[in-house]
Structures are given as structure tokens and as C-alpha cells.
Amino acid sequence: MRVLVVEDEPDLNRQLVKALGDAGYAVDSAKDGEDGYFLGDTEPYDVVILDLGLPKMDGLSILEQWRRAEKKFPVIILTARDRWSDKVAGMDAGADDYLAKPFHMEELLARVRAQLRRSAGHAKAEFDCGKLRLDTKTARVSYDGQAIKLTSHEYRLLAYLMHHRERVVSRTELVEHLYDQDFDRDSNTIEVFIGRLRKKIPGEVITTVRGLGYRLSTEADAA
């Protein structure tokens, strides 16, 4: 999952990027409104954290323009604690959630997880595919009750496939959503990680759809 942080306070920007990166997301960040707007307009993010008070272009205008251009990613706005009117204006402009500053990073991460599963049409923190289970709260994966140890890259990849279980996901899409913009994007790395996941997960859970990409399936789907 790929996240965009648009925040002009350098310390908070750095803390957000670190916390989200540690939580296993690919993170891009912008420190002013113009950069933030441009990134959201051109890159496919899964969720965006948007401060409202920004130099060059304010957060509300950015959000309005994205929504006018049919950008559908969930947006969590950051507001000053006492500015209730900002929250209202933000929600009306197309924000999905808000957080008042100062906030606890744990709360922000929980809200990000909630937005990601909601946009996947899912209400619970756990995702199941047959005997395979992925818990987004603890970042743990198990098969038939047995824990499976994954590296952060493997987890990211599996989490993305689990969030989009109902369809085929192409390699290009995986590259775009699993790595930040500075990453050397070689879609062969995706194949390597798919291979590693297949070795670690019993059953043929990850199916290759020739020419299209990958999808998750259960024994029941195959029958």
C-alpha cells in the first residue's frame, strides 16, 4: 500500500514518513501544497494524509481539485484542534476522515488501516482467503492457524493482494502500489517476491493469470 503525506512542518512530516514506513507502507511526502497536489494528481495512492494549512496551495483547494478530477483515494485531513469549521469544510470537500493536531501516531495508523480496508469494501481488520489469514492490526499472517513469518516486502505484497482479492492484480499495479517514487522499479522483483510467498504459504493460494497478473484463490475456488 502506498501513502502520500502532505505536511509542511518538517518534524511532523519526518515522524509521519517514519511511522508509516515502519508500519510497512511505501511512503512519498511533500512539504508544500503544489508538490502535494502534483503527486496526488499523478501517482496512484491508496491513502493520503493531507494537512490543511500549507504553503503555495492550501489543503482544501488541493482536495477539491483532486475530487473534481475524480481521484477516489481516501484522504485523512490534519486540522488544528479548535478549528471545527475546518473539519466541516474538509469533510464537505471530500475528506474521508480527520485528525486534530496534536495526535498520537497510533491513532493515525489505525485510521489509515480503517480507510484501507473500507476502500477494499471490508469492515474487519482481518482478511481471510480460505485457510490463509492476514491481520492488518498486528501485521501477522497465518495459514490454518499456523503463523507464517514474512519479511516486510513479502507482507506488503500479500496485504495488497488480500485487499484486492476479488480481482486480478497486474504486476505494474503491484509495482506502483508497493514502492515509493524513488524506488528503482523493476517488475521482476515482484516475481521474486511472489516466488518467495509461494514457498512460505502452503496450498496454491497465489494464482498466475497468464498475461494479466496474479490473484488469490482458495481450494474451494479451484474446485
Q: Interface with Ca ion by CB under 5 A: which range of 11-19, 47-55, 102-110, 122-130?
A: 47-55
Work out how close the CB of 83 gets to Ca ion at its nearest, in angstroms, rounded to a whole number.
Answer: 12
Query: How many residues sit in the footprint of Ca ion (CB under 5 A)?
Result: 3
Q: How many residues does the chain have?
A: 223
Q: Interface with Ca ion by CB under 5 A: which range of 38-46, 51-59, 92-100, 126-134?
A: 51-59
Q: Which burial class, exposed, middle or buried, applies to 24 when counting CB atoms under 10 A from its CB (0-12, 13-18, 19+)?
A: middle
- Best CA proximity match to 217, nearest among 179, 13, 207, 178: 207
- Three-state DSSP class for 189? helix
φ/ψ of 28, rounded to 5, equals: -110, 150
Work out how close the CB of 54 gets to Ca ion at its nearest, in angstroms, rounded to a whole number.
Answer: 6
Contact status: 24 vs Ca ion (CB under 5 A): no
Q: Which is nearer to Ca ion, 30 or 114 (CB)?
A: 30
Q: Which is nearer to Ca ion, 35 or 173 (CB)?
A: 35
Gyration radius from the chain CA atoms: 18
Which member of 19, 21, 35, 53 binds Ca ion (CB under 5 A)? 53
Work out how close the CB of 209 gets to Ca ion at its nearest, in angstroms, rounded to a whole number.
Answer: 44
CB-nearest residue to Ca ion: 53
Q: Which is nearer to Ca ion, 4 or 206 (CB)?
A: 4
Would you state the cell numbers that stand for residue 200, as one nine-digit string? 512460505
Work out how close the CB of 8 gets to Ca ion at its nearest, in angstroms, rounded to a whole number.
Answer: 5
Who contacts 176 (Cβ-Cβ below 8 Å, separation ≥6)?
Answer: 2, 43, 44
- Best CA proximity match to 29, nearest among 43, 41, 17, 40: 17
Which member of 51, 86, 96, 97 binds Ca ion (CB under 5 A)? 51
Residues of this chain that interact with Ca ion (CB under 5 A) are 8, 51, 53
